[in-house]
């Protein structure tokens, strides 16, 4: 089992643990280099960008595209469905695993964060998975925190900080995000 699997299953890791350093930092270095290549590519070279994004994620599903510049720290734990679109400035801390299902749209400068530190020992991390279900729409500058599920067809309004699950077919806004409409 990998460090990533351990974290997804609730384990904590000291960031200086040799196994964590080897696996996590190795993947971070790989992803940092690929993001640097992608972000430095002429935006009109969409085929080259798509190929590099496929290398970053292992595969790039049909119709999906992450608009550079962006930063993904652990590409092997970011799972995209078909026809996912993310606008520029996306920040992804996916060590705890992020699943983005088919048809999701993400506005500019959004942040998806699966990792947090233990308050009594900030060198120890814990993660919780983020899941964004089919056809959800994440507005600009939204921050989604560890353990959140955004429901199918849900909308999260611009600038919201999502600390709790958003049900299917709802609109949530604010800091912290609260459901303001159900359809």
Which amino acids are annotated catalytic?
Answer: 117
Identify the helix (H) or strand (E) that includes residue 7: helix 3-8
Q: Say how many residues make up the chain.
A: 183
Domains, the chain, with CATH or none = 3-182 (2.160.10.10)
Q: How many Å apart are CA 133 and CA 105, to the nearest integer?
A: 11
Tens of pLDDT along the chain (183 residues)?
899 999 999 999 999 999 999 999 999 999 999 999 999 999 999 999 999 999 999 999 999 999 999 999 999 999 999 999 999 999 999 999 999 999 999 999 999 999 999 999 999 999 999 999 999 999 999 999 999 999 999 999 999 999 999 999 999 999 999 999 998
């Amino acid at each position: 089992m990998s460090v990533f699997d351990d974290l997804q299953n609730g384990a904590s890791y000291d960031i200086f643990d040799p196994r964590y350093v080897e696996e996590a930092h190795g993947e971070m270095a790989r992803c940092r280099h690929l993001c640097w290549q992608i972000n430095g590519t002429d935006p009109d070279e969409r085929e080259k960008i798509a190929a590099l994004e496929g290398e970053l994620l292992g595969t790039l599903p049909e119709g999906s595209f992450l608009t550079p510049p962006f930063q993904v720290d652990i590409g092997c734990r970011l799972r995209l469905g078909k026809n996912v679109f993310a606008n520029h400035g996306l920040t992804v801390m996916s060590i705890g695993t992020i699943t983005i299902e088919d048809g999701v749209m993400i506005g500019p400068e959004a942040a998806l964060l699966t990792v947090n530190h233990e308050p009594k020992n900030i060198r120890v991390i814990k993660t919780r998975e983020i899941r964004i279900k089919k056809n959800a729409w994440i507005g600009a500058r939204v921050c989604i925190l560890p353990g959140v599920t955004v429901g199918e067809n849900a909308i999260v309004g611009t600038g919201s900080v999502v600390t709790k699950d958003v049900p299917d077919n709802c609109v949530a806004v604010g800091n912290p995000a609260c459901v303001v409409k159900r359809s």
